[in-house]
Structure 1
Amino acid sequence: MPESEGETVNRRKNLIAWVSLGVSLVALGLKYAAWAVSGSIALKSDALETVINVAAAIGGLWAIHLAERPADDNHTYGHYKAEYLSAIIESAMVLVTALLIAREAYEGFVHPQNVDAPWLGLVLNGVATAVNLAWGLTMLRIGRRIRSPALVAGGQHVLSDVWTGFGLVAGLALIPLTGWHWLDPTIAALIAVNVLRVGWEMLRQSVSGLMDEAPDSAILSRLNEVIAEKAVGALEAHDIRIREVGAITFIEFHLVVPGTMTVAVVHDICDRIEAGLRNALGRCVINIHVEPEHKAKDSGIVLAHATRCY
């Protein structure tokens, strides 16, 4: 029996989540070694952030597994929002990490230390940064394509680590050349600010998803076009509502039809609309409430000659 679209997406999510965990562990090992050989506060801060990457990858696996579960008596709309919960938890962990890194930076200013073997530490950290760059871009691209909040949040988190790594390597390379040891805690402080910024943005996006924020105007426009094109025989569509939960789009609206139209004909119209919406928007849960013509509203999509949209 061939795999459904939903099963294919879920399998891909699971694969990405497992690979993400493996990449995070490799990066953590490299960054821990970089800190161990150098004693740099900035490198320690970077390693500390990567610990959160590992925890986030584990949380992402849990969320994706839970989101795959079908609807049940307690969750009649399914478990799709588990990915948003995972993204919010990851955002909170990122914010806590920023505070811990800031504390390390403060200790570095108060009790400055020399950085030992900086070049070896920078090489190890640079390798970890390159690994994270390749994987972060992959996660972000795939997460956006399959509309996975957990993968998008994970990709954003990993890429924040990359930009931090680039700045860290460039800054610490100046220490043996200039003797400016204050650069070490300064870079750590900048890492904290960047991590705080990324964590806040991740939190904002995740809360928007949980609050059922409307999608962008392009999606709404496309939805209206499909209804106008496919509702041949109907008179109007109004009270259109749409929300996105991960890879699933929930759509509901009222469809006004002539009072003399048979149930069979109305059913065919609804089938055409549903097929058109799924073809245009992907996986959808659609609820169409059919009404007689005296229920028409001026604010709806008027289907003149069944195809034109005003």
Structure 2
Amino acid sequence: MENSHSGTVKRLALWSIPLSLGVMGLKLVAWWVTGSVALLSDGMESSVNVVAAIVAFAAISYAAKPADTTHPFGHHKAEYLSAVLEGVLIVVAALLIVKEALPAVFAPTAMEAPVLGLAINFLAGAINALWAYVLIRAGRRYRSPALSADGQHILSDVVTSAGVLVGLVLAIVTGYAVLDPLLAVLVALNILYQGWKVIAHSVDGLMDHAVEPSEAEAIQAAIAANGTGSLGVHDLKTRRAGSATFVDFHLVVPAAMPVGKAHEICDRLEEAIVAVQPGAQIAIHVEPETEKAHGIKVRIERIPR
């Protein structure tokens, strides 16, 4: 049974599909009425958004599956694979734009019905800007790499549209039709950079990156304040896999402490960590004080007598 967060993420990913189709349609109409190579390039970039939205929805749906015997830690990393693919698609879109724009640099042509085409493209860009904001904000809130990547991808499309509009206005005002394909090339270079950032971030996530420093500090503070009865914590490790957070550490207790008492401390620590890191999956190894400590250590706060 999926939780409310994963359900919200899936709904947002699903809505991206018809929205991206609608935006692509508007941009292709803008190209059709103007004949602008820059608007054609912008529409081609949006066609990649459609594929990316479908891939993101499939990855998010798969990542939401519960753990099973072959994937005991869950399927969370599927979102990173989707984000990597989106980054690759962004790069491909940029290369396709360059392919279409370069010939037009040497043989520029004047646009037809430029005002109508620009108005249609502006509407498509405005829709994209709003949706990119929604996806990026939701991606951060629900720690969804796929949603964040999809939002960043759409944001790069917004930058494309803005650049194209500026370039076409300049081409109309100055009469230099060559500005149309030249700006398309410049925008493609920016898209290449955005695609590289998405790929780099996603690959880093696949490498079991630790939580952010502020989150690590909150986890350590929760352990320090709620580990009363134990002698300390060491070898504290964290990792992020999609929307899931894993916390692992060794809890040192007096050698004579009963198992039941040590278990109570573990329960208290787990509740405290989940309070600052909702949904965290925690593994605690209890050991006697005679064991040698290593790794990251946390001192337990003492209650004054």
SS state at 1:12 partner: helix
Aligned equivalent of 1:253: 249
- Matched residue type, 2:180: D
1:296 offset after TM fit, Å? 4.5
Query: What is the CA–CA distance in structure 2 between the aligned matches of 1:223 and 1:176, rounded to whole Å?
Result: 58
Structure 1 runs not aligned, ≥5 long: none
Moved more, 67-76 or 32-41: 67-76
8 Å contact kept, 2:234–2:251: yes
Query: What is the CA–CA distance in structure 1 between the aligned matches of 2:303 and 2:273, rounded to whole Å?
Result: 17
- Matched residue type, 1:18: L
1:112 offset after TM fit, Å? 2.1
8 Å contact kept, 1:228–1:306: no
1:264 offset after TM fit, Å? 0.8
8 Å contact kept, 1:236–1:296: no
| Structure 1 segment 181-192 matched on structure 2, within 5 A | 181-192=177-188
State which of 169, 176, 200 in structure 2 corresponds to 1:204: 200
8 Å contact kept, 2:135–2:150: yes
State which of 17, 21, 24 in structure 2 corresponds to 1:25: 21
Residue 69 (structure 2) pairs with residue 73 (structure 1): yes
SS state at 2:299 partner: strand
1:304 offset after TM fit, Å? 5.2
Query: What is the CA–CA distance in structure 1 between the aligned matches of 2:17 and 2:298, rounded to whole Å?
Result: 47
1:115 offset after TM fit, Å? 1.6
Aligned equivalent of 1:303: 300
8 Å contact kept, 2:228–2:301: no
Q: Could you state the TM-score of these two structures normalised by the residue count of structure 2? A: 0.96
| Structure 1 segment 1-310 matched on structure 2, within 5 A | 7-297=3-293, 300-303=297-300, 305=302
Percent identity of the aligned residues?
A: 43
Query: What is the CA–CA distance in structure 2 between the aligned matches of 1:174 and 1:99, rounded to whole Å?
Result: 24
8 Å contact kept, 1:234–1:306: no
Query: What is the CA–CA distance in structure 2 between the aligned matches of 1:249 and 1:229, rounded to whole Å?
Result: 21
1:23-75: per-residue Cα shift (whole Å, max 9, x none)? 10110010000011111111011000000100000001100110011112221
Q: Could you state the TM-score of these two structures normalised by the residue count of structure 1? A: 0.94
SS state at 1:305 partner: coil
- Matched residue type, 1:32: L
Query: What is the CA–CA distance in structure 2 between the aligned matches of 1:139 and 1:303, rounded to whole Å?
Result: 40
- Matched residue type, 1:164: T
1:221 offset after TM fit, Å? 1.0
- Matched residue type, 2:260: A
The ranges of structure 1 where at least 4 consecutive aligned residues each deviate by more than 4 angstroms after the TM superposition are none
SS state at 1:188 partner: helix
